[in-house]
Structure 1
Amino acid sequence: MKNILIPTDFTGTSDLALAWAKFLAKQYMADGAETTLILAHITQPYIPDTTLPTGEVGAGILAAQELEDVGELNLQELAQQLQREGFSTRIESRFGSIDSEIVEVADEVNPDLIVMGRSHIDSFFDWLAGSSAADVAMTAHCPVLVVPTLEHGQSHPVRLSSIAYATQLEFDENHILRPVVQLARTFNSQLRLVKINALNQPNVRDDQQYLAQIVSEFGQSRFVEDNLEADNVTDGLKKYIHTYQIDLLVMATRERDFLSKLLNPSLTKRMVLSADVPVLVYHAEENY
């Protein structure tokens, strides 16, 4: 893993994401890989208040410029701190919409992984609005690891003893499983393939067809296969995570049209927004 992109706003939520990025980087560095932590900070544009006198707009723009300058200074200090810890770093300071700028930075620097924090969702309106992390996870052209902040600033331990890969066995997933199997090997993690059987989840194809493909390439000893009955997939996965003390949930998302997204929000996005453990998102139609 050569490059890990970590967007930061210098809060506790970003600190949790950075802790996971450092954890991953240390292992790859120990294996001889040259890994760079790319720190990115996005300053959002100033939105003028039309109820204020015209003269106040200029003051707001100056304040936004000051925030951008402070953000870049904080980035430099954080990079220096990480360098003292033995990490190679790079900084990217941008001005614009958080989601789109992060994706743009990723397109430019071509990271192997984006690691982002996700703040605790307190209300229905927080859920409706979503989060920058969830939006980036759905649109970035590389894998995205979303690290949640739980209630009262709590977090899941930074470890990779057990990894769960959520599958419905409805399409060929070997191209996604390859890096997941490699991740499990690198960290000596137990890898579990879990399928949630729920009434609202389609079950069109024969599971054995895709299980045979998986076993043929990776071998039966590489993973544990589990099936769980549940009222819905989201609740089933949450129960599974708790029951088996999962440290990381891996999910794949597929490209869908606008109407599908509106009427039936992505299961992957729902888990990114609600899971109590980090969620690693791959895009099934992309080749990494």
Structure 2
Amino acid sequence: MKNILVPTDFTGTSDLALAWAKFLAKQYIQDGLETTLVLTHVTQPFIPDTTLPTGEVGAGIMAAQELEDVGDLNLQELAEQLQKEGFQTRIETRFGAIDDEIVEVADEVKPDLIVMGRSHVDTFFDWLAGSSAADVAMTAHCPVLVVPTLDHGRSHPVRLATVAYATQLEFDENHILRPVIQLARAFQSTLRLVKIKAVNQPNVYDDRQYLDQIETEFGRDRFVEDTVNADNVTEGLSKYIAAHQVDLLVMATRKRDFLSRLLNPSLTKRMVLNSDVPVLVYHAEENY
């Protein structure tokens, strides 16, 4: 990987995402690749309180400017610390809506991966933070790794012993599996292809058709095939992850054409918001 974009708000949630970014970067640096951590902080604009006197608006704008200055300083300090640890860094600061600005930075920098933290979805404000991560995952034009913070500040261990790739075996996914298999090979991970058989999911094509296609390109020894029966896909994946001690869930999302509407693309967003393990999102229409 040449560039890994790491948005941060300097909280524990962002620290967990940074830990994953460093973990990934170290592996690629060891493999002789020059990997840069692109650190990004977004300051949100001041929204005037219409119940306050007019004169208070200026004070709010000044406070927003101070927050932006503090963010710039914190970002610089973080970059310097990472440089001392041996990482190459780059800084990008923005002012605006979090998800929009992160996607804009990604369009400019063109990273190989975005790594974002997601708050434990417990309060309304945590939901907003989690939603920003999910929105970036669904709209960015590159893979996005969303790292959850669990309740009481708990986190999943930073490791890649087992990677699960969720598939319905209903369309050609080899272009997504290529980088996933490369990732599993780089970290010597066990890769499991997981199909959830649920009532609300279509089963139009014979699974063997796409499994043969996958095995022809990658070989049978690259992965383990598992099929799980469940009431719904979210429940099935969650139970599977817990039972197999999965470290990373990989999912693909598609544009809303007829087939993708059948496949319910909002499933990926639901897993990003609710999964207890990091979720790596690919876009099936992209050519990785």
State the TM-score, normalized to the length of structure 2. Answer: 0.96
Q: Give 3-state SS (helix, strand or coil) of 1:141's partner.
A: coil
Deviations 1:120-175 (A, max 9, x none): 00158865895111000000000000000001000000000000000000000000
Paired residue for 1:177?
Answer: 177
Task: Say whether 1:58 aligns with 2:58.
Answer: yes
Q: Give 3-state SS (helix, strand or coil) of 1:37's partner.
A: strand
Give the 3 Å change call, closer, same or farther, for CA 211–232 of structure 1 in structure 2.
Answer: same
Give the 3 Å change call, closer, same or farther, for CA 4–201 of structure 1 in structure 2.
Answer: same
Give the 3 Å change call, closer, same or farther, for CA 106–125 of structure 1 in structure 2.
Answer: closer
Paired residue for 2:96?
Answer: 96
C-alpha distance in structure 2 between counterparts of 1:129 and 1:156, whole Å: 19
Deviation at 1:235, TM superposition (A): 0.4
Paired residue for 1:248?
Answer: 248
> Would you say how many aligned residue pairs link Structure 1 and Structure 2?
284
Paired residue for 1:237?
Answer: 237
Deviation at 1:287, TM superposition (A): 1.2
Paired residue for 2:273?
Answer: 273
Residue identity opposite 1:95 in structure 2:
F
Structure 1 segment 8-27 matched on structure 2, within 5 A: 8-27=8-27
Paired residue for 1:155?
Answer: 155
Task: Say whether 1:133 aligns with 2:97.
Answer: no
C-alpha distance in structure 1 between counterparts of 2:115 and 2:188, whole Å: 21
Say whether the 8 Å CA contact 2:256–2:265 is kept in structure 1: no
Paired residue for 1:31?
Answer: 31
Paired residue for 1:226?
Answer: 226
Residue identity opposite 2:26 in structure 1:
K
Q: Give 3-state SS (helix, strand or coil) of 1:131's partner.
A: helix
C-alpha distance in structure 2 between counterparts of 1:59 and 1:99, whole Å: 26
Unaligned stretches of 5+ residues in structure 2: none
Unaligned stretches of 5+ residues in structure 1: none
Which region of structure 1 is more displaced relative to structure 2, 117-126 or 248-257?
117-126
Say whether the 8 Å CA contact 2:119–2:129 is kept in structure 1: no
Task: Say whether 1:47 aligns with 2:47.
Answer: yes
Deviations 1:176-231 (A, max 9, x none): 00000000000000000000000011111111111111000000000000001001
Q: Give 3-state SS (helix, strand or coil) of 2:158's partner.
A: coil
Q: Give 3-state SS (helix, strand or coil) of 2:184's partner.
A: helix
Paired residue for 2:284?
Answer: 284
Paired residue for 1:199?
Answer: 199
State the TM-score, normalized to the length of structure 1. Answer: 0.96
Moved over 3 A (4+): 123-130
C-alpha distance in structure 2 between counterparts of 1:106 and 1:162, whole Å: 28
Q: Give 3-state SS (helix, strand or coil) of 2:252's partner.
A: strand
Say whether the 8 Å CA contact 2:118–2:130 is kept in structure 1: no
Paired residue for 1:73?
Answer: 73
Residue identity opposite 2:283 in structure 1:
H
Deviation at 1:255, TM superposition (A): 1.1
C-alpha distance in structure 1 between counterparts of 2:225 and 2:94, whole Å: 44
C-alpha distance in structure 1 between counterparts of 2:47 and 2:129, whole Å: 18
Paired residue for 1:122?
Answer: 122
Q: Aligned-residue CA RMSD in angstroms?
A: 1.6
C-alpha distance in structure 1 between counterparts of 2:273 and 2:34, whole Å: 32
Say whether the 8 Å CA contact 2:82–2:88 is kept in structure 1: yes
Paired residue for 2:113?
Answer: 113
Give the 3 Å change call, closer, same or farther, for CA 265–193 of structure 1 in structure 2.
Answer: closer
C-alpha distance in structure 2 between counterparts of 1:127 and 1:90, whole Å: 29
Deviation at 1:256, TM superposition (A): 1.6
Residue identity opposite 1:31 in structure 2:
D
Q: Give 3-state SS (helix, strand or coil) of 2:51's partner.
A: coil
Q: Give 3-state SS (helix, strand or coil) of 1:204's partner.
A: coil
Deviations 1:89-145 (A, max 9, x none): 000010000000000000000000000000000158865895111000000000000
C-alpha distance in structure 1 between counterparts of 2:145 and 2:152, whole Å: 21
Identical counterparts, % of pairs? 82
Deviation at 1:54, TM superposition (A): 0.7
